[in-house]
């Protein structure tokens, strides 16, 4: 069987023979084998990735925890040398520098290979609101890949890269992780700089991590976490892991909070999941989700939509026909019907 593409496995190989070029050969071969044009919007040529690898310092994982680790970046996060499109070609620009989070990963020894697909302007949880081909769900291609960080989730789930960056404003990192059966880590707000990120909702945006293991997700997130004086929402966050409690405790939505919109299959699957918790000797606590539903309405049907509008206001007001029709409807509808002042 091929070696699992994790940080620990790669570093075990590098301890014997520090050859990131062979790893990059494997990454680009896996990308070709995936035969899915929807995963990446843009890529570095393998020669460029190997040129970056050639500049790595000597192998020292204690000093460079991501030494020789290839990773992908959601295409609303700046990577110098590749355009930032946010899945809207008319919006594309060429960033002069890496986003702060990306630069910190590179400084830790990581190697960027490309920019991944997304729901346009990170507006959506389905992963299909893109003018590019839609990434195929890695578990079941008949299902949506989840979004908005669709390409990043699929790139990790298909074994192309050990980890990838997404964003998470209201589930854009956790939803596609769940739908592709991988780990999705959303850090505390402000723990990771968003300088160099195209905002979705500036006051709520987080850069998130996709990985095959919790350990890998944590390693990448910790490498990025740092206070950034140029980010108004940045704050020092103690990035230390706590041990798990002796008994698993799970919050379960109470009966009034559950809504399956008539989907009996989803309702049955939810009940099976609850029953499966017994195998883990878990204790369940009922949770009232009404406050969360109220906050969701603020994000999708209330004032936070104004932040989405403000983030891309120039392109909307110049020619909103370049937007994906669903993105345009989500971002523009409320502001225009309520005549919110600019």
Parallel, antiparallel or unpaired: strands 69-74 and 283-287 = unpaired
183 φ/ψ sector (left φ>0, alpha ψ -120 to 50, else beta): beta
The active-site residue, picked from 149, 152, 172, 234, is: 172
Give the Cα separation of 110 and 211 in Å (integer).
Answer: 14
CA dist 38 to 73, 129, 151, Å?
Answer: 14, 12, 7
260: which residues sit within 8 A by CB, 6+ positions away? 266, 267, 270
- Strand (E) positions, the chain? 40-43, 69-74, 110-116, 163-167, 183-185, 207-211, 249-253, 283-287
DSSP label at residue 91: G
Task: Tell me if residue 152 is catalytic.
Answer: no
Q: Which of 329, 83, 309, 330 is nearest to 199 (CA)?
A: 309
Task: Tell me if residue 172 is catalytic.
Answer: yes
How many residues are recorded in the chain?
Answer: 342
The active-site residue, picked from 148, 149, 208, 234, is: 148
DSSP label at residue 312: T
Task: Tell me if residue 50 is catalytic.
Answer: no
Give the Cα separation of 201 and 272 in Å (integer).
Answer: 35
Active site residues: 74, 148, 172
């Amino acid at each position: 069987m091929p070696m699992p593409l994790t940080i620990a496995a790669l570093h075990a190989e590098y301890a014997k023979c520090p050859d990131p070029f062979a790893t990059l050969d494997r990454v680009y071969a896996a990308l070709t084998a995936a035969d899915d044009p929807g995963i990446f919007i843009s890529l570095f040529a393998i020669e460029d990735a190997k040129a970056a690898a050639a500049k790595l310092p000597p192998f020292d994982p204690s000093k460079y925890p991501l030494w020789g680790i290839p990773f992908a970046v959601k295409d609303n996060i700046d990577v110098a040398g590749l355009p930032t499109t946010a899945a809207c070609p008319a919006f594309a620009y060429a960033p002069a520098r890496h986003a702060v989070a990306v630069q910190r990963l590179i400084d830790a020894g990581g190697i960027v290979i490309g920019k991944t697909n997304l729901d346009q302007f990170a507006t959506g949880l389905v992963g299909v609101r893109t003018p590019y081909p839609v990434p195929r769900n890695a578990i079941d291609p008949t299902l949506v890949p989840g979004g908005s960080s669709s390409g990043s989730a699929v790139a990790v789930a298909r074994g192309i890269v050990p980890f990838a960056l997404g964003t998470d404003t209201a589930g854009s990192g956790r939803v596609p992780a769940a739908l592709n059966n991988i780990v999705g880590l959303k850090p505390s707000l402000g723990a990771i700089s968003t300088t160099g990120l195209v905002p979705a909702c500036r006051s709520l945006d987080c850069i998130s991590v996709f990985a095959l293991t919790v350990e890998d997700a944590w390693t990448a997130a910790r490498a990025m976490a740092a206070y950034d004086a140029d980010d108004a929402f940045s704050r020092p966050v103690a990035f230390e892991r706590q041990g798990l409690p002796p008994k698993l405790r799970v919050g379960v939505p109470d009966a009034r909070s559950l809504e399956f919109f008539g989907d009996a299959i989803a309702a049955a699957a939810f009940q099976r999941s609850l029953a499966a918790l017994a195998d883990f000797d878990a204790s369940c606590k009922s949770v009232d989700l009404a406050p969360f539903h109220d906050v969701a309405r603020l994000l999708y049907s209330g004032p936070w939509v104004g932040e989405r509008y403000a983030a891309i206001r120039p392109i909307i007001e110049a020619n909103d026909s370049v937007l994906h029709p669903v993105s345009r409807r989500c971002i523009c509808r409320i502001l225009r019907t309520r005549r919110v002042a600019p």
